[in-house]
Amino acid sequence: MNETSPHAQISPTPRPDGEREKLLEIWATPKGWRLPTAVNNTVIGLLYLGAAFVFFVLAGILALVMRTQLAVPDNDLVSQDLYNQLFTVHGTTMMFLFAVPAVEALGVLLLPQMLAARDLPFPRLSAFAVWAYIVGGTVFFSTIFYDLAPRGGWFMYPPMTLTEYSPGDAADFWLLGIGFIEISAIAGAIEIIVGVLRTRPPGMSLDKLPIFGWAMLIFAGMIVVAFPAVILATMLLEIERAFGWPFFSPDGGGDPLLWQHLFWFFGHPEVYIIFLPAAGLVSMIVPTIARAPLVGHNLIVVALIATGFFSFGLWVHHMFTTGIPSLSLAFFSAASMAVAVPSGIQIFSWIATLASRTKKLRLTTPALFVLGMLFIFTLGGLTGVMVAMVPFNWQAHDTYFIVAHLHYVLIGGMVFPLFATFYYWAPMVSSRLLSDTLGKWTFWLMFIGLNVAFLPMHLAGLLGMPRRIWTYPDTLPWDGYNLVSTIGAYMIAAGVLVFIIDLIRNFRIGESSNPNPWDAGTLEFLPQDVYSTRSIPKVDSLYPLWDRPELAEEVEAGAHYLPDAPTGGRETIVTSPISATPQYVVQMPGPGWMHFFAAVFTAACFLLLTVKVVTPAIICGVLAVVCCLVWVWTIDKGPDAGPVEIGGGLRLPVYVTGPMAHGWWAMIVLMLVAGSLYLAYVFSYLYLWTSSPEGWELGAAMLPDAGSPMLSAGLFALAVALYVLARWALPEPGGNNLVTPALVILGACALTGGVVNEVWSHWQAGLRPTDSSYGAMVYMAGVLTAQLVAVIVIMSLFVCVRQMAGKIDQVRCAGLENTSLLVYYTFAQALVGLLIVHGIPHVAAS
Amino acid sequence: MSQSDANDRFVRRTAVSLAPILLWAAHFGLVYGGAHVACATADGAIGEPLADMAVWSVTGLVVLVLVGIGLRARSLLSAGASSGDTNSNDFLVHVVHALTLLSLLGVIWAGAAVNFMPTCATR
């Protein structure tokens, strides 16, 4: 195209010769043995999604073994012990290794395309998360082959998972493996939050953000709040198993119900963490099916936000039978029913959109999966309202009714939208469409199979069949239902098999000759290449490809923003978080090995710790840190390449610091993660206090005198002051001095001193973490602050080295700024800790 | 232009937009946590009426604040917005109004339970 409309002429066309070739060269994907160095979102997203799908298939095979075992009464196909491992690994794999990674993968794969960004802002972080997940997940899954898999079910309740009842390493594989994979999920969440808020195209203000962007933003926010609770829970249980700190053992004043609170504070939102992105996908597909804008777009956004929040008020509905007071149960019952309202808003909006169409509905494969999802998820939602009612819950708890309910919700709410996604978005990454005929076979086998498999489970459950039983006698009236369920399970498997055949036959990575076969209205259907879109469009509506049919041609001609690579490297535009006003051009890293090695060594460290091989684990941990430091050494490229012209007369800087910088935002999100973890600790502390107050009453007598916490608080405050001074003392660009490194080192020492003094004072007072839950919680406060201080020490040393290399000064100071942010947060957390640890026992004693 | 203005006063506008649902969360935490602590630590004769009254008071207060936020949403959000950002602002006002309604539902639903359920009894 040689001419564009004046409205679109942001960059002059035709573009200079060689510009596209330069983009292709800069964004080229490494091939062959160098593939692990790749960081492009399409490569990483596909890798992520492929790995998640493999885990889905593997966990599905375990389900088939279980269904075969249960098909007839008194079956002995597998032993009881193996059956326990099967359901634990099946549930854990589906929830942790398939569902969350799959939706996170879709975020990495689809978001940059939907936002017409060249990539997400931290591509190596995504790559690190993927490789960590692949290595960690593979090792965890393989435990089933070596009789090393845990037996405690996917929620691993103590006391059954305490050392006394689960000796050996099996439970540790779950605790350390899953804890590690959650860290990978959090890394992905940080990437997604900053990506959605800061790398939207110019003009795409929040009211024009596609629903999937909203869903992923809320999904990631929920991960930030929910996952730290289970990370803390796994830390506490692992510490109790390894060192005997009694958090969950009633003998030492612990309480096994604390695990349930922490686990389900993560576990119930987890259902919505999985569902919301899938709902976002449906909200993107439905308008295309109906050829009409989504009815109630703003209400859907509200419904997503409300569901995200309400889902955190539901955790106790998994604990209705644990003896909690009736009034408290009523609070959770109310929230459990209230969450149905925003879910209903979404369902009715989709139905209204489909009803508003002016043409006949084309029942393509994506359309079938969306309609199937509406049916199945609604049924699961209805049984969800049933189990939200306390009296019914008491009857149905831990029966097959619950198994049926959760599979309707999860398969309807996540798996069907995922398959719709496979078929709908395949043209974005594949040169060929998947087969509509095979797709329909896949759909009908899965749809019928799901209902055949899980509908009878409601009845078996109501007839009293408990979950997780290995077999049952033929005197009980469950055999017919179980046989039918098993047949249904094989039908689902057949559907998945047909899909795999379709993939093998038709999925070919590459550019499609028709990037928009569905005539969709959103940006991911613009012509794409390794660099994403040729230029970054200015957006002024929710469905830009419908409202401006010429947009695809303009973008491909390079007529919009950033049609070239002005810094000579990988870059994209960073915009303001609400109105999407262009702010600066971020320079992004390209391929490299360090994120890959960091992931491998981190996984190795966790897994070696699991089998108690401590020294190699420490070596791997150190190597992982070294790899991370090498990786981040090249990220801060400084301001030298800018400012640059991006089109439309806009000249933007290529380096900013402070609240405008995307790195600053990532640090803030990381602090929110740390804050969530610490809040979960505060909850645990208060819970155990109310559960066994005698420990706290005795603890008041063992507290160090007031001078000790005052000294710690003083040292923490001194550290903050030193880091503030370090920022002021930075040299001018080109200069160098030793004042900043000295202040930073002194600050890190002050922080370390504060933690050591606090822990040492309790030790001197005679308190031991193994004595009681009180002692364990006191020392745990120290552990949580000490881990932050350890990170700060590493970051501070890094800052010192960078300054001595001339890479930090008054302008180029992101490294010091981010370290200081963490110092300020640590100061606040440590003060709260001191107040709680030294204050609550006095309250208890009085 | 300050960094805050350049960032569309993100913190302020996000806080206002999410205020209704954050209030729901605060209410939920307070009534659940308060009832739990009252039942676990205080004598039943004192703890139960204390918890009931606390639930009632907190619910009433939160409902009033929610109504206030719903009524003043536009002015609260406009204070942080630039004049050229009316689309975003209108959108956020819609969000606040709808979230206020949903939060009112959640708060009243949870708070009303104190009328029907014994506070500390387990069955």
List, in sequence order, every residue forming a beta bridge with A645; answer none if it has no partner. A651
Q: Which of B35, B90, B109 sits opposite A327 (nearest CB)?
A: B35
Q: Does position A8 have pLDDT exceeding 70, yes or no?
A: no
What rounded mean pLDDT belongs to chain A?
A: 93
CA distance B48 to chain A (A): 11
CA distance A32 to chain B (A): 42
**3-class state of residue A647 by DSSP:** strand
Give me A348's structure tokens: 């009715």
**Best CA proximity match to A561, nearest among A614, A523, A509:** A523
Q: Is A570 left (phi over 0), alpha (psi -120 to 50) or beta?
A: beta
pLDDT interval class at B38 (50, 70, 90):
confident
Handedness of CA A678, A683, A689, A692 (dihedral sign): negative
How confident is the model at residue A4, as a pLDDT? 44
List, in sequence order, every residue forming a beta bridge with A509; answer none if it has no partner. A430
CA distance B61 to chain A (A): 17
Residue in A331, A583, A657 to test binding to B, most B beta-carbons within 10 Å: A331
Collect all residues of chain B within an 8 Å Cβ-Cβ radius of residue A335.
28, 106, 109-110
**Averaged pLDDT, A735-756:** 95
List the single residue in A with minimal CA-CA distance to B18. Answer: A305
By a Cβ cutoff of 8 Å, what residues of chain A touch chain B? 197, 205-208, 298-299, 301-302, 305-306, 309-310, 312-313, 323-335, 337-338, 341-342, 576-579, 581, 583, 658-660, 686, 690-691, 693
Q: Which residues are CB-contacts of A496 (< 8 A; sequence separation ≥ 6)?
A: A56, A57, A60, A442, A446
Collect all residues of chain B within an 8 Å Cβ-Cβ radius of residue A686.
37
CA distance B78 to chain A (A): 13
Using CA atoms, how far residue A779 sits from A261, A710, A773, A831, in Å, is 21, 18, 10, 15
Q: Does position B17 have pLDDT exceeding 60, yes or no?
A: yes
Query: What does the alpha-carbon distance between residue A336 and residue A330 come to, in Å, rounded to a whole number?
Result: 10
List the single residue in A with minimal CA-CA distance to B29. Answer: A313
pLDDT interval class at A20 (50, 70, 90):
very high
**Averaged pLDDT, A283-296:** 94
Q: Does position A181 have pLDDT exceeding 90, yes or no?
A: no
Q: Are B94 and A658 within 8 A, CB to CB?
A: no
CA distance B57 to chain A (A): 16
List the single residue in B with minimal CA-CA distance to A578. Answer: B8
How confident is the model at residue B84, as a pLDDT? 65
pLDDT interval class at A2 (50, 70, 90):
very low
Q: Does position A462 have pLDDT exceeding 50, yes or no?
A: yes
Establish whether this prediction's ipTM goes over 0.85: yes
Q: Are B32 and A328 within 8 A, CB to CB?
A: yes
pLDDT interval class at A735 (50, 70, 90):
confident
Q: Are A334 and B51 within 8 A, CB to CB?
A: no
Q: Which of B3, B24, B91 sits opposite A206 (nearest CB)?
A: B91
Collect all residues of chain A within an 8 Å Cβ-Cβ radius of residue B94.
298, 302
Q: Are B35 and A325 within 8 A, CB to CB?
A: yes
**3-class state of residue A588 by DSSP:** strand
**Averaged pLDDT, A391-395:** 93
Residue in A312, A578, A656 to test binding to B, most B beta-carbons within 10 Å: A578
CA distance B37 to chain A (A): 7
H-type alpha helices, A479-612:
479-506, 544-547, 551-556, 594-610
How confident is the model at residue A7, as a pLDDT? 53
Q: Are A579 and B88 within 8 A, CB to CB?
A: yes
Collect all residues of chain B within an 8 Å Cβ-Cβ radius of residue A297.
none
How confident is the model at residue A511, as a pLDDT? 78
Segments of chain A assigned to CATH 1.20.120.80: 683-845
**Averaged pLDDT, A781-791:** 97
Segments of chain A assigned to CATH 1.20.210.10: 70-345
**Averaged pLDDT, A733-739:** 87
Q: Which of A310, A327, A583 sits opposite B106 (nearest CB)?
A: A310
Q: Are B4 and A659 within 8 A, CB to CB?
A: yes
Backbone angles phi, psi at A651, to 5 degrees: -115, 120
How confident is the model at residue A6, as a pLDDT? 47
Q: Are A327 and B91 within 8 A, CB to CB?
A: no
Collect all residues of chain A within an 8 Å Cβ-Cβ radius of residue B121.
325-326
**Averaged pLDDT, A483-487:** 98
For the ranges A40-49, A185-194, A676-685, B72-81, the lowest mean pLDDT is seen at: B72-81
**Averaged pLDDT, A112-124:** 94
Q: Are B28 and A331 within 8 A, CB to CB?
A: yes
Query: What does the alpha-carbon distance between residue A97 and residue A52 come to, in Å, rounded to a whole number?
Result: 6
**Best CA proximity match to A223, nearest among A101, A398, A350:** A101
Query: What does the alpha-carbon distance between residue A653 and residue A651 come to, in Å, rounded to a whole number?
Result: 7
A683-845 CATH pick, 1.10.10.60, 3.30.750.24, 1.20.120.80, 3.40.50.300 = 1.20.120.80
Collect all residues of chain A within an 8 Å Cβ-Cβ radius of residue B36.
325, 328, 690
Query: What does the alpha-carbon distance between residue A669 and residue A680 come to, in Å, rounded to a whole number?
Result: 17
A70-345 CATH pick, 2.30.40.10, 3.40.50.300, 1.20.210.10, 3.40.50.970 = 1.20.210.10
Q: Which of B36, B39, B106 sits opposite A338 (nearest CB)?
A: B106
Collect all residues of chain A within an 8 Å Cβ-Cβ radius of residue B28.
313, 331, 335
CA distance B98 to chain A (A): 7
**Residue A785 class from Cβ within 10 Å (0-12 exposed, 13-18 middle, 19+ buried)?**
buried
**Averaged pLDDT, A430-457:** 96
For the ranges A174-188, A594-608, A625-639, A695-709, the lowest mean pLDDT is seen at: A174-188
pLDDT interval class at A122 (50, 70, 90):
very high
**Averaged pLDDT, A806-814:** 90
Q: Please report where in the chains the tokens 């350890």 appear, as a residue.
A: A790
How confident is the model at residue B83, as a pLDDT? 63
Q: Are A313 and B82 within 8 A, CB to CB?
A: no
Q: Which of A305, A328, A579 sits opposite B21 (nearest CB)?
A: A305
**Averaged pLDDT, A704-716:** 96
Q: Are A579 and B8 within 8 A, CB to CB?
A: yes
Q: What is the pLDDT of residues B77-112, one digit of tens each?
A: 887 666 667 788 899 999 999 999 999 999 999 999
How confident is the model at residue A730, as a pLDDT? 93
